[in-house]
Amino acid sequence: MARKHDFKLPALLLFAAGMALAAGLARDQAQRNATERRAVFERRVERAMDALQRRLIQYEKGVRGARGMIVAVGIDRLDHPTFLRYSATRSYATEFPGARGFGFIRRVPVAVEDAFVQRLEHEARSQRAIRHLAPHDGDRWVIEYIEPEANNLSAVGLDIASEGNRRKALEQAIATGQGTLTHPITLVQASGKTNQGFLLMLPIYRVNGTDSGDAEQLAPAERLAHGVAAAYAPLVIEEVLADFTLEQERLTIALDDLDNGQATRFYSTHPDAQRIDANGLVARRDLTLYGRHWQVELAAAPGLVASLAQPSPLARGLLAAVVGALVAWLFNAWLVARQRRFDHLAEELTEQRRHRAEIQALNASLEQRVAERTADVERGMRELQTLAYALSHDLRTPLRSVDGFSKLLLRDYAGRIDDAGRNYLQRIRAAAQRMGQMYDDIHALLRVGLSTLQRARIDLSGLATKLVEDLRAREPERPVESDIEPALMADADPLLLKAVLGNLLDNAWKFTARAERPRIAFGRVRVDGEDAFFVRDNGVGFDMDNAGKLFNVFQRLHRPEEFDGHGIGLAIAQRIVERHGGRLWAEGAVDAGATFYFTLAPGRGAS
């Protein structure tokens, strides 16, 4: 009796392996997507931080310009017409977008306050009194001029020393001689923007009767006494960020002022109560500028991830799962058919043993049956060839349909399909074409195992020269140097060895595309006492930790967008070399090129 075999387990194991591979591909795509999202987000964050810092520094340049004019004219000779003429030379909206204006603050001791007010009346200014935010006994620091005045009229005549945050920043500016920002405040000219305003101030000193902005000529303890004025710019953070590209960058921003460990949020592009799905893309950066320490929180706005149009991990996993299921089904069908033939043969042999005498009498008939069984085995090999043919031809028919109908949709219905739909159709076409190429590669791999070796004497040097000439004809614009050792001969199958050299030289040609002076060499060396041929290039190379993966089917060390191919050429080359009794291996380093060696069987190889 023939033994019964259960072929479900091998097929199920193959199916499970296919599903595991599909899950791995989906997980790999998800990880790639996450890495790309993080990289894009970080680049946009750095651009936003750089733009914010440049904007604030630009305001300091404006304040320095105003201070330079004030010092040049002299504080005692400065009047409103002079300040107005200077302002007319500047284009505030173009040079300093987001700035409210630039102004002049004068120190007014209490003893001369009445005389100062009388001078204002003499100038016929609209503001004829000093206004205080809170009573205090110290010197007044009065905003005397600011332009454009129309946007800042309520600030003219304000004593900034009458409010703690303004006074503290002013004293810090005088003590350090550096530009200084106030704590977030509410500007009197923008009272609706609560705690969104700032003053950026630069001090002016008087030393020996001369006005100067240079604090280095004074000891730190002397600076406060010699400080007589300041140039300043009022800022509102909402206006500072009004023309920023946060919306185009698809980012949200929130700003906190840190003071003695306490964080005060003074600006946000979204309400605090609103929870924004940032896909985990949130970055916090510290910004220390003009005496203030800010924490900038940037997050991905809705739509950033969608704008990247990343490949779907689910779609990639489903495609791999379908292919895996198909392979498992074909494998099971092949096992069942093969076992049926073997079982039938075993039953006949058992019957022949029971009737040995009859078999001996019918010896001639038995020889015929043996011939028939041999024919069955040969048919089995032909069926395997048929399977290989089906993989590369019959199974391409539905792929051609997918590609063809997708092409028709793009050509005849493009006006009815939106951009996203056309993008999907183009991806379908690209995937179908890639799978067709993969079927061709599988067919080539199977042919290596099924073909019969036809050894002959081969001129390897001439073959390599012809292959390089073909590559030059394909890309004549590439100046690739080649060094082919002459008179290299071998005993091997000409067609199969041409495939080996073709794959190795094609890889060398492809991976030197980025080299400044691409070079390819073919020659022979002695390795461990035997002759080995080699193909060497100065291309992108590879990490030797990945050398074991080079000859795996469909294994690639570079992304498809960097270099084309399907990762099967080296696998085919290795199988051909092994059929000749030799071995194939590689050596290389990243960005330092690669060398592929191969040997042939002793006594039949290099000569």
User: Is there a domain that residue 289 lies in?
Assistant: yes
For the chain, give the mean pLDDT: 81
* pLDDT at residue 87, rounded to an integer: 92
**Same domain? 445 vs 462:** no
pLDDT range class, residue 271, cuts 50, 70, 90: low
pLDDT tens-digit readout, 323-337? 877 887 887 778 777
For 9, list phi and psi in degrees, rounded to 5.
-65, -50
569-579 and 419-450 helices cross at what angle (nearest 10)? 0
User: Is there a domain that residue 44 lies in?
Assistant: no
Residue 44 identity (one-letter amino acid) = R
**Same domain? 95 vs 228:** yes
3 state DSSP class of 297: strand
User: Is there a domain that residue 41 lies in?
Assistant: no
**Same domain? 260 vs 122:** no
Token pair of 159, please?
């004593």
State the Cα–Cα distance between residues 437 and 434, nearest whole angstrom.
5
pLDDT tens-digit readout, 226-254? 999 999 999 998 888 887 766 667 888 88
**Same domain? 442 vs 517:** no
pLDDT tens-digit readout, 104-117? 999 999 999 888 88
Q: Could you give the number of structural domains in the chain?
A: 4
Domain C-terminal end among 272, 292, 307: 307
Tally of CA atoms within 13 A in the half-sphere of 204 that contains its CB: 28
pLDDT tens-digit readout, 534-548? 999 998 888 887 777
Domain C-terminal end among 240, 265, 280: 240
Domain C-terminal end among 218, 240, 262: 240
Distance of CA 323 to the CA centre of its chain: 29
Is the Cβ–Cβ distance between 540 and 559 less than 8 Å?
no
User: Is there a domain that residue 581 lies in?
Assistant: yes
pLDDT range class, residue 560, cuts 50, 70, 90: low
**Same domain? 361 vs 445:** yes
* pLDDT at residue 274, rounded to an integer: 43
Q: CATH code at 474?
A: 3.30.565.10
Region class of 209: left (phi > 0), else alpha (psi between -120 and 50), else beta: left
Residues 6+ apart with CB under 8 A from 292: 181, 183, 257
**Same domain? 445 vs 467:** no
| Segment 404-416 mean pLDDT | 75
Tokens 């454009």 sit on residue: 148
* pLDDT at residue 15, rounded to an integer: 79
Token pair of 184, please?
């977030």
| Segment 156-162 mean pLDDT | 93
User: Is there a domain that residue 552 lies in?
Assistant: yes
Whether 606 has a pLDDT exceeding 50, the answer reads: no
Max CA distance (Å), the chain? 145
User: Is there a domain that residue 211 lies in?
Assistant: yes
Is the Cβ–Cβ distance between 293 and 285 less than 8 Å?
no
**Same domain? 251 vs 301:** yes
Domain that holds residue 431: 8-31+312-450
**Same domain? 234 vs 95:** yes
pLDDT range class, residue 101, cuts 50, 70, 90: very high
User: Is there a domain that residue 199 lies in?
Assistant: yes
**Same domain? 77 vs 212:** yes
Q: List helix spans (H) across 303-362.
A: 304-307, 313-354, 356-361
Greater confidence (298 vs 377) lies with 298
Q: CATH code at 192?
A: 3.30.450.350
State the Cα–Cα distance between residues 574 and 555, nearest whole angstrom.
14
Q: How buried is residue 474: exposed, middle or buried, by Cβ count under 10 Å (0-12/13-18/19+)?
A: exposed
What is the rounded radius of gyration, in angstroms, for the C-alpha atoms of the chain? 41
Whether 14 has a pLDDT exceeding 80, the answer reads: no
**Same domain? 278 vs 388:** no
Is the Cβ–Cβ distance between 554 and 531 less than 8 Å?
no
**Same domain? 351 vs 460:** no
CA angle 602, 604, 607 (to 5 degrees): 95
Is the Cβ–Cβ distance between 535 and 607 less than 8 Å?
no
State the Cα–Cα distance between residues 357 and 361, nearest whole angstrom.
6
**Same domain? 137 vs 177:** yes
User: Is there a domain that residue 500 lies in?
Assistant: yes
3 state DSSP class of 326: helix
| Segment 120-149 mean pLDDT | 84
| Segment 593-601 mean pLDDT | 90
For 235, list phi and psi in degrees, rounded to 5.
-130, 145
pLDDT range class, residue 423, cuts 50, 70, 90: confident
CA distances from 111 to 107, 129, 137, 157 (A): 12, 15, 11, 17
State the Cα–Cα distance between residues 2 and 269, nearest whole angstrom.
78
Instruction: Using a pLDDT cut of 90, give the percent of the chain over it.
Output: 30
